[in-house]
Structures are given as C-alpha cells and as structure tokens.
Amino acid sequence: MKTNQFMEKAIRLSLENMRKGLGGPFGAVIVKDNKIIAEGYNQVTANNDPTAHAEIVAIRKACSILGTFVLKGCEIYSSCEPCPMCLGAIYWAKPDKVYFGGTRQDAHLAGFDDSAIYRELTKSLSERKIPMIQIMRDEALMAFHEWVEKKDKLKY
C-alpha cells in the first residue's frame, strides 16, 4: 500500500462509523512494515468513554497486537490532526511518524474545539477552569522513591 491508501482507510473509518452513529468523524490506522496492523475510530458516544478517540483506540490495539507499549517502526495515519490527549498518547507511544488529514481548525469549524484545552495547558494550576489542588505530596512521593530504587523496573 502507499501512503495515500493508508490515509484513505483512516478517512473511510471516520465516515463509516460516524454514519453508523458510533462516534465523531474521526478514524486512524497504524502501519508497520507497509501493512495496517490496527484500526481505530471515534467511539466516545458509543462507549460513553471520553478517551475513546480514534488514535487512542488504534494505539491500544497496535500495542496489544505487538506486545509492546512502544510503536517504534510504526506510522499513524489519522483523518484529523490529533487533539491534545491523542498527541500526548502518540508521544508516549513513540511512533516514527504521524500523517493527518484535516487540521484542528477544520475540526473546530465542525464543532470539535480543543482550543480551551490548549489554553488551559499554558495556565498555572490556580488559574485553570477545573480546580487542580495538590494534596499529600510527601505520601505520594513514596511511589517515586521506590521506583527510583526498583532494580527490575521496565523503563519507558
């Protein structure tokens, strides 16, 4: 397959599943060695899961199939520029490349506006719309201290 064929598949997933009422108009595929290994489409409303974005669904499937949490050697094709949550997941998964169709501005015009999240990320904790209140830091640090000392940890 060629690059455009992978994007065509992601776009087809976005259309088919949106038309079925399974979620918003977003689709994604993950490719390794020039072969689609995982597909995802938006399932937020179908599953009552705000994290069930196309890219997240595809990443979960690809990692399960490959038996790893790192997608080195893979490419992600998304029908739209990834939102902040998906972008974070993509960076954690470490694919080689991401291709996308529509832009975040296109998504905004269709009613999917992530600009508030982008703005929130630049604010201090005390200025955020949803209160972010730190408590029990010393107790929480115990897990980090143990992690640093753990000899058999699997780093990521």
pLDDT of residue 39: 98
pLDDT band at 156 (very low <50, low <70, confident <90, very high): confident
pLDDT of residue 2: 79
The active-site residue, picked from 39, 55, 146, 149, is: 55
Residues of 55-70 as b/e, b for ≥16 C-beta within 10 angstroms? Answer: bbbbbbbbbeebeeee
In angstroms, how far is CA 129 from the centroid of its own chain? Answer: 23
**Is there a contact between 102 and 54 (Cβ–Cβ < 8 Å)?**
no
pLDDT of residue 3: 80
pLDDT of residue 78: 98
User: Would the pLDDT of 16 be above 90?
Assistant: yes
Percent of the chain surpassing pLDDT 70? 99
Mean pLDDT across the stretch 24-28? 97
CA–CA separation, 38 vs 40, rounded Å? 7
CA–CA separation, 42 vs 33, rounded Å? 25
pLDDT of residue 155: 84
| pLDDT digit string, tens, across residues 103-132 | 999 999 999 989 999 999 999 999 999 999
Active-site residue flag, 120 = no
Percent of the chain surpassing pLDDT 90? 93
26 three-class SS: coil
pLDDT band at 1 (very low <50, low <70, confident <90, very high): low
pLDDT of residue 154: 86
